């Protein structure tokens, strides 16, 4: 744990995602978001229509994560 190097300030946000209906939706959203640089983990709950994303705000923005989900055809609130 030095200064300045390797800071690991992860942020966690839960997004509302509409349009997911099955396990396949869950998998595609999780896969696409997990592939983004800076995302540590993405956990989708289809029943709750939510995606809990842990990410490094210095590497990836919430907008980028939202756009990635929207590109798959789902609606992010
Ligand atoms: Cu589906």
> pLDDT tens string for the chain (77 positions)?
445 555 578 999 999 999 999 999 999 999 999 999 999 999 999 999 999 999 999 999 999 999 999 999 999 99
Question: What is the Å distance from ligand 1's center to 22 Cα?
Answer: 4
Question: What is the Å distance from ligand 1's center to 1 Cα?
Answer: 42
Tokens 């989900």 label which residue? Answer: 69
45 and 29 in contact (C-beta within 8 Å)? no
User: What would the two tokens of residue 59 be?
Assistant: 């590497």
Question: What is the Å distance from ligand 1's center to 13 Cα?
Answer: 22
What is the domain class of 11-76 according to CATH? alpha beta
Question: What is the Å distance from ligand 1's center to 12 Cα?
Answer: 24
């Amino acid at each position: 744990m030095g200064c300045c190097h390797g800071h690991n300030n992860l942020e966690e946000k839960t997004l509302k995602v509409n349009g997911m209906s099955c396990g396949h939706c869950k998998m595609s959203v999780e896969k696409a978001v997990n592939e983004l640089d800076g995302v540590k983990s993405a956990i989708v709950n289809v029943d709750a229509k939510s995606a809990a994303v842990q990410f490094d705000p210095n590497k990836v923005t919430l907008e980028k994560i939202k756009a990635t989900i929207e590109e798959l055809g789902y609606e992010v609130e």
